[in-house]
Amino acid sequence: MRPLLEVSDVKIEFSHSSGPSTAVDGVTFDVHEGECVGIVGESGSGKSVTARSVLRLLPSAGKMTSGRIAFEGEDVLGMSELRLREFRGGDVGMVFQDPMSSLNPVIRVGPQIEEAMLYHSRYGGQEAKSRVVDLLARVQVPDPRMRSRAYPHQLSGGMRQRVMIAMAYANEPRLLIADEPTTALDVTVQAQILRLLRELGREFGTAVILITHNLALVADLCDRVVVMYAGRVVEQGPCREVISNPQHPYTWALLETARQMGAKGRKLFAIPGSPASAKDRIHGCRFHPRCAFAVDRCRDQEPPLIDLGGGREARCWVLMQNVSPDLTRGTPQ
């Protein structure tokens, strides 16, 4: 079966006054119908840029210099301006991190959701109007009729994010891209929004790309995970297997820190240094300066994505399965 979305070998460069720099370097992944894929990474990993390139929403300085993105076999780069307008918000919905800056502050939220439907002409005027209240009810906004007449500033952060989600689902997209959808929210509200995304995904059969820095969110919501570091995919595979048995030292280290964080104990396992970005042009494996298990080869030659079977891949010469358990038990510095 053909995947819903195919991202293959995408390279994205940004032009600066000091010359071009690479933000994303040869990223490949698929999203299948109804599947939830998490893209995890820290700042500079290129996760948001990758997701935006799917909708051709790169900032003006950014450019996809090679690779291919296909939605149901259709080349996204080859889309006409007209087709692109239909594609964005019609075939693919998007939810951003900060709901306040993505909503128009001077228009009531109901008409904003309605506009999203009228723009795509999938629903007529009266139908769109009545669907607004249904959609708000569906994203569990209490008293949806009254809330549809509220301005964004009259709603709480969690409510605003629900409105954004209602808007993203208004045209029943096949794919939803959620870029850090809960980072600005409190923990009790975050859990509500995640549950909502999960339920809506099931109900509408929508595929979801969740972009986050938090592996625990991915564990909670996703079927598959793509871990990015410095513009590269370093590991990908079925979520549960990656989390229970990570093969790239970066994934392993992130999980190790998170596990120790939740427990009492003196010293935390910490990855030394700070996150690299693709523009740092590190020779060899991009993670090797921070890696506890790096060997000479890692400094000289960048590893390819190695197929581990079962849909799993990792970009590492060493792989955690070959690291002696004695080394992972202590706190390597």
Partner 1 sequence: MNNAIDSDSMALVKVDNLVVHFHLGVGLLNAKKVIHAVDGVSLELESGQTLGLVGESGCGKSTLGRALVGLQRATAGRIYFRGVDVAQVKSKALRELHKHIQMVFQDPVASLNPRMTVEDIIGEPLRNYRVASGLERRSLVSKALEACGLSRDMMHRFPHEFSGGQRQRVGIARALVLRPAFVVCDEPVSALDVSVQAQILNLLEDLQDQLGLTYLFISHDLAVVRHVAHRVAVMYLGKLVEVAACEELYARPLHPYTKAMLVSSPGLERDERSNERALLKGDIPSPVNPPSGCRFHTRCPIAQFPKCQMEEPPLLRNGTDHWVACHFPGKA
By CB under 8 A, residue 216 contacts partner 1: yes
Question: Crossing angle for the helix pair 157-169 and 187-204, nearest 10 degrees?
Answer: 10
* Residue choice 1, 82, 187, 309 for contact with partner 1 (CB under 8 A): 187
- Smallest distance, Å, CB 61 to partner 1? 20
**Residue (of 23, 14, 10) closest to 54 by Cα position:** 10
Residue 205 CB burial class (10 angstroms; 0-12, 13-18, ≥19): exposed
How wide is the angle at C-alpha 233 spanned by C-alphas 227 and 239, nearest 5°?
A: 35
Query: Interface mask (CB under 8 A) for partner 1, residues 278-307, using x and -?
Result: ------------x-----------------
Backbone angles phi, psi at 243, to 5 degrees: -75, -35
Contact 33, 4 (CB under 8 A): yes
With a CB cutoff of 8 Å and minimum separation 6, the contacts of 62 are 12, 13, 14, 23, 49, 53
Query: Interface mask (CB under 8 A) for partner 1, residues 136-155, using x and -?
Result: ------x-------------
Query: Interface mask (CB under 8 A) for partner 1, residues 11-50, using x and -?
Result: -------------------------------xx-------
Q: Which is nearer to partner 1, 158 or 303 (CB)?
A: 158
Q: Which range in 25-33, 84-92, 184-192, 300-308 contacts partner 1 by CB under 8 A? A: 184-192
Measured torsion, CA atoms of residues 36, 58, 62, 277, in degrees rounded to the nearest 10: -40
* Residue choice 267, 310, 324, 325 for contact with partner 1 (CB under 8 A): 267
* Residue choice 7, 70, 194, 200 for contact with partner 1 (CB under 8 A): 194
Which two three-digit tokens encode residue 226? 């793509």
By CB under 8 A, residue 272 contacts partner 1: yes
Contact residues toward partner 1 (CB under 8 A) are: 42-43, 142, 156-159, 186-192, 194-195, 198, 213-217, 219-220, 243, 253-255, 257-272, 274-275, 290
